[in-house]
Amino acid sequence: MLGPLRVEVGERPADLGGPRQRALLARLVLAGGEVVSTDRLIEDLWAGDPPPKALGALQAHISYLRRAVEPARPPRAPATVLVSEAPGYALRLDPAAVDAWRFERLLAEGDPDDHARRYQRLGTALACWHGEPYAPFATAHWVLAEAARLHELRRVAVEGRAESALALGRPDEAFALLHRHVTDHPDRENAARLLALAQYRLGRQLDALATLRALRTYLDTEFGVRPSPALSALETAILTHAPELDQRVGSDRADDAAPFPDRVDTGAPGQPVPRSDPEADTAPETVAEPTLVVGYASERAALVAETAEVVAHKRARVVWLEGEAGAGKSTQVDVLAGELAADGWTVASASCPEVDGAPAAWAWVHLLDALDPTWLSAMGDESARTPVQAGPFAIARAVAEVCGRRLDDGPLLVVLEDVHRADSATLQILRQVVAWLTRRPLLVLVTARGSETDAGVRATAAALAGSTGRRLELGGLDGAAVRAVAERAGLTSLDDDTVEWLRARTAGNPLFVREVATLAAAVGDLRAVPEGVRAVLHRRIARLPAGAARALRLAAVWGDDIDFDTLLALTAEPEDTLIDLVDTVTVAGLVRVDTDRITFAHALIRDAVYGDIPTLRRARLHWSALEFLESRTFPTRPPSRPGADHAHGAAEPGLDSGPMPIGAESATDLAAVDTVVLDAMAHHAIAGAVTSTADHALRYVLAAARRRTARRAHQDAEPLWRAALELHARAGHDSPTATRPDRLAALATRCALINALAYGGNDDQARRLRAESLTIARALMPADSSARPSEGGAAGDDVRASHDAGAPITRRDPAASPGDHSGLGRSAVPEAGRASTADSRIAVDPVVAVLTCWRAPTIWTSRDRGLPDSDMAADLAAALDRTTAPDLRVRLLVTTVFAVEGFDNPRAFACSAEAVRTAREFGEPELLCAALNARAFVALGPDLWSERADLADELLRVATAASLPEYQAVAHFLRFLVASGAGRLVDARSEIARALDCAEGGQLGPLLVVATAHLAVLAVLRGDLTTAEAIDTDLSAKMIAAGNANGAQLVLLAQMMTGWARGDLSPGLDGYAQLYAAAPYAISYVYALALLDAGDIERAATVLDAGTEVLRDYYWGAMSAFEARVVARIGTVAAAARLYRDLLPRAGTIAGMDSGSVAFGPVDTVLAELADRLGDHVAAAQHRAAAERVLANLSTELAALDHTGATLT
């Protein structure tokens, strides 16, 4: 570079191509090994007037130069000389390999007082020069400053070598170096000083004086200044022949204290010389959250404090770190993880997938793989051949075991990122792992975008409240941090007003600051940057070459990352071309490349790319991705079906635009497909299907939905079932003109969706869909509806095999999958492809299929508390009359129980008894759990009071033995109610905590409601009514915000409890009146007592005389206490006697405590009031004494509860 441009590779000259390629290489050399952004390169190479697709041209030049400087580099091998490093390119060469770099390095190294070595070293440095620096580009604007700097360094080198020559006693060599040098540069005092000294030592005193006089004259004439005192002193010494002039020059160099204009860092051996280049881009490597750690000092301090708490107390803690996209969450996590790893912690992290189509609990699978690659084989579960075949409970157990072993060696940090994208299985595992490892030094750091968290995440956070330390929110950088990020992005010299403007525009979001600053540095005008980071990203993407943009779109359709071979197949580009295209988007900061894996640098980038793809093109790309997966999964597929391509429109250039295959997959094929692949196929099928391909897409979506269901990931299967139902509609299967097999297939999917909704806690949606489905099923009943669906019938040809939504068993089958609910039982039949028993049953009796499809366990009532559905009740009665298959009868009986409980209790009792008896005989654990669940639910009322504890215990035994955590949750909840009703508060809190640990999906919400409401009960028992009201009011607000209509009623319950405790219910009178008008059976006696407390005896008597019977359900004890208090004050003796008899078995308890959510004082208190009404004052006194004992026992329990800390908050 110090002369004509010349490059040698292996001692042979390299062909550098044309002027543009040579200028590009020179520009990178000028940067001294630092990264130069693509924006800066384009600006410099085209002198501010780039062509429309300059980035593509730049990439072509880069590719040419790479081939020139590394001709032996194998295909796909990463470049090692001209490397890609976001946001641009850099040269990676030994400093000795570039003359300009070598020259600077020689100047900077060595001891300046070692003149012999210095003289030799500077001679070598000067020999690097063969002409003007960057000679072919001397007039380019980007060369001028660098050329001037190099010339100055050369002048310093000449003078330094002359100085060493004088020190070594070689004045003749010093004279030879300086004579022409001083003539060319008459203003350089140090050069004149050294030349005069050399001349004097050569015996040329007059020449020495002439040299000094010439300098004086030049300085005076040109600048009006006098020489330095050192020069004047030298002139005097020459005139007087001072003895010291004959001494060799030491290190005292006048006017040369700083011979180098810039600090030059020699760099590490084998690396380019790092040097300040004002035009080199210093932006970070990617657009991911900043690696520059600035701002958020208080948040970092809080994280460090949490780690200290974990170590000090040896207890698990959960920390929530929230912030919007780009706020810096990952940066804070990385910093903390690095510090803790250095302190001896074990660190493991995983992220929830940012795109749809990933298997359930995928983040935990990755974390397990990182901590212990052998975890799956250690499970001993033959059914779990791959990680995704293990159910959530099994994965949770594996995580706890693996983490437990790591915790034996010291504290553990588990990072779970992007939880706003978490599926229900991931959240369930999080809860269970924290619960199981609560007494270990475990810190779980959870990150999420606060604005994108759903009800499941919020419920999980509530369930983890007892283990949660801090909730931190990254709300944006302050001004100083914004300045630091902007400067690192290349936007320097910002005044305070501009920094504040930038902070306000970006809300201090580090990613947004960086993106805006990077673009502003490129365009030269901060105010010209478009609004919003997405607009900034769109602008950057628009500058990509067409091929690079197409590859980026394909990668976005595939997901948040893609391997190179897959992208190569999808683009159909030549390998070398794709390598260059990937390199282009890499240096643009849009993706990162790790070996052969290409990952979007940030989810926002993937979203921006994906969102810019037109809808029709996007669907076509997804379908092409499905075709690729089919070709890779089923390489021997039959010929394609014609016409599919036309249905999707024009193909993306480079994609296989041929027709889509159909019918290639057998049931065995799909059963053997890896779950990750199957989920991806379903994802692309959903996004890419059109009317003509919906039928083909269904096979993958249904298979993926069934597999998730079989793994008991019911809630995560719900989107797939919903998508399958939409595909049925798109294919016309739900049309009245569709064939019966097609309509049955759609009905089977409806049944599966109903169950998934129920498992997710979406009872209202599930009920509405079931009502709609019953209407459809009635229309599909065969003409001879008297057929009994016991052995399946002969409808194999009547049902589409490809739409099998599951199959039942008519006898106990231990090998059958317990999770696949079509509405007609469980199946070990392959996932698709052949007729099954389910096909037969749904064809014979579609109504039974719908009536039995709701398989989710019941924590709380699943029925609207209004009047029962009479049509459904009639359907159930008729179905039971014609059904003999024992498994179906149990399902019908269970459905009947929940349909009529509270309104037709004799029928509910009879059905639940038959269900338990039949299920025990049948011998299938899940069926027995469903029957026990139903029987225990109706036992919450007064009529089966004595069975409650035994039913709960049996349910727990069966569910535990069969590994059915959702029923374990129900059992623990029932045991909680039993313990609460008995006043065993410590046991109650323990049981509700265990229920939360086992809860799946939709169970968590109602359990949290009861668990939180129980805290209000405890506050009432302590006499802290203000706290009780605050708890229930807050809980009510959260329920209402979540769309739960019962939230408003919770406020009334709180008013009822506190009103009872204060002895005055009148403050809530208006609310009671409104509810009484809508549902008198639910609250009549509360309303009557409030009227009495308000002094309105006449209206209270009217309500009492209406004679509404208290529902004999879980609130019977509470509502009967209200009735008793009203009757004791204004009722008849007969009514008082009846109530006394009914309530006497509840003596020694707190009214309503058996519901877990309310407490209205000792039942003995109202028994005493009834005894007084009956004139039995002795019994009344005994009951009042008993009430005092109950309260004393509760005080003891409360003290024990406080001592054990067995609370959830």
Same domain, 637 and 776: yes
834, 856, 878 - which closes a domain: 856
Going from the C-alpha of 905 to that of each of 876, 927, 936, 939, 1202, the distances in angstroms are 15, 22, 13, 10, 40
Same domain, 933 and 847: no
| Model pLDDT for residues 1179-1207, shown as the tens digit of each residue | 999 999 999 999 999 999 999 998 775 54
pLDDT bin (cut points 50, 70, 90) of residue 850 is very high
Q: 774 φ, ψ to 5°?
A: -65, -40
CA distance 930 to 772: 24
| Model pLDDT for residues 113-139, shown as the tens digit of each residue | 888 888 888 888 888 888 888 888 888
CA distance 477 to 514: 12
Q: Return the pLDDT at 685.
A: 96
CA distance 884 to 238: 128
In 12-87, which ranges are E strands? 12-13, 36-37, 82-85
What 3-state DSSP class applies to 809? coil
| Residue 345 domain-assigned (yes or no) | yes
Same domain, 586 and 645: no
| Model pLDDT for residues 886-944, shown as the tens digit of each residue | 999 999 999 999 998 878 889 999 999 999 999 999 999 999 999 999 999 999 999 99
Q: Residue 750 is encoded by which pair of tokens?
A: 């409806």
> 457: domain CATH number?
3.40.50
Residue 256 corresponds to which amino acid?
D
On the question of pLDDT at 1209 being above 70, the answer is no
On the question of pLDDT at 32 being above 70, the answer is yes
| Model pLDDT for residues 548-607, shown as the tens digit of each residue | 889 999 999 998 889 999 999 998 889 888 888 898 888 888 888 887 899 988 777 888
Mean pLDDT of 182-192: 87
What 3-state DSSP class applies to 617? helix
CB 842 within 8 A of CB 746: no
Same domain, 652 and 709: yes
Mean pLDDT of 339-343: 89
Q: Which residues pair with 417 in a beta bridge?
A: 351
CB 217 within 8 A of CB 227: no
CB 724 within 8 A of CB 749: yes
Mean pLDDT of 427-456: 86
Q: Which residue in 742, 737, 740 sits closest to 695, CA to CA?
A: 742
Q: 223 φ, ψ to 5°?
A: -130, -10
491, 510, 529 - which closes a domain: 529
Lowest average pLDDT, out of 39-43, 248-252, 777-781, goes to: 248-252
| Model pLDDT for residues 147-165, shown as the tens digit of each residue | 888 988 989 999 889 888 8
DSSP letter for 736, please.
T
| Residue 932 domain-assigned (yes or no) | yes
On the question of pLDDT at 646 being above 80, the answer is no
For the ranges 34-43, 372-381, 664-673, the maximum mean pLDDT occurs at 34-43
> 56: domain CATH number?
1.10.10.10
pLDDT bin (cut points 50, 70, 90) of residue 1044 is low
pLDDT bin (cut points 50, 70, 90) of residue 832 is very low
CA distance 292 to 294: 6
On the question of pLDDT at 251 being above 80, the answer is no
| Model pLDDT for residues 278-321, shown as the tens digit of each residue | 333 333 333 334 444 678 888 888 888 888 888 888 889 999 99
Bridge-based pairing state of the strands 82-85 and 561-563: unpaired
First-to-last C-alpha distance (Å) of the chain: 70
What 3-state DSSP class applies to 490? coil
Q: Residue 132 is encoded by which pair of tokens?
A: 């003007």
| Residue 441 domain-assigned (yes or no) | yes
Q: Return the pLDDT at 287.
A: 37
CA distance 301 to 628: 49
- Which residue range forms the structural domain that includes residue 583? 540-613
CA distance 543 to 523: 13
326: left (phi over 0), alpha (psi -120 to 50) or beta: left
Average pLDDT of the chain is 82
| Residue 1007 domain-assigned (yes or no) | no
Q: Return the pLDDT at 807.
A: 33
CA 519 to chain centroid, in Å, comes to 28
Q: What is the 3-state secondary structure (H, E, C) of 317-344?
A: EEEEEECCCCCCHHHHHHHHHHHHHHCC
CB 1171 within 8 A of CB 1179: yes
Same domain, 78 and 145: no
Same domain, 920 and 865: yes
Lowest average pLDDT, out of 278-292, 827-841, 1108-1122, goes to: 278-292
pLDDT bin (cut points 50, 70, 90) of residue 639 is very low
Lowest average pLDDT, out of 34-38, 157-161, 399-403, 1064-1068, goes to: 34-38
Q: Residue 697 is encoded by which pair of tokens?
A: 């897409």
Lowest average pLDDT, out of 362-366, 975-979, 1058-1062, 1153-1157, goes to: 362-366
Q: Return the pLDDT at 436.
A: 87
- Total domain count for the chain? 7
pLDDT bin (cut points 50, 70, 90) of residue 721 is very high
Q: Return the pLDDT at 865.
A: 54
Same domain, 164 and 185: yes
What 3-state DSSP class applies to 872? helix
Q: Which residue in 196, 246, 244 sits closest to 216, CA to CA?
A: 196
CB 530 within 8 A of CB 299: no
Same domain, 775 and 634: yes
Q: Return the pLDDT at 1045.
A: 60
Same domain, 104 and 85: no
| Residue 621 domain-assigned (yes or no) | no
| Residue 969 domain-assigned (yes or no) | yes
* Number of continuous H segments (helices) and E segments (strands) in the chain: 52, 13
Q: 448 φ, ψ to 5°?
A: -160, 155
On the question of pLDDT at 501 being above 70, the answer is yes
| Residue 23 domain-assigned (yes or no) | yes
Residue 235 corresponds to which amino acid?
E
795, 830, 856 - which closes a domain: 856
Question: What's the whole-model pTM score?
Answer: 0.73
| Residue 72 domain-assigned (yes or no) | yes
Same domain, 105 and 84: no
Same domain, 739 and 888: no
Q: Which residues pair with 561 in a beta bridge?
A: 599
Same domain, 852 and 862: no
CA distance 669 to 582: 34
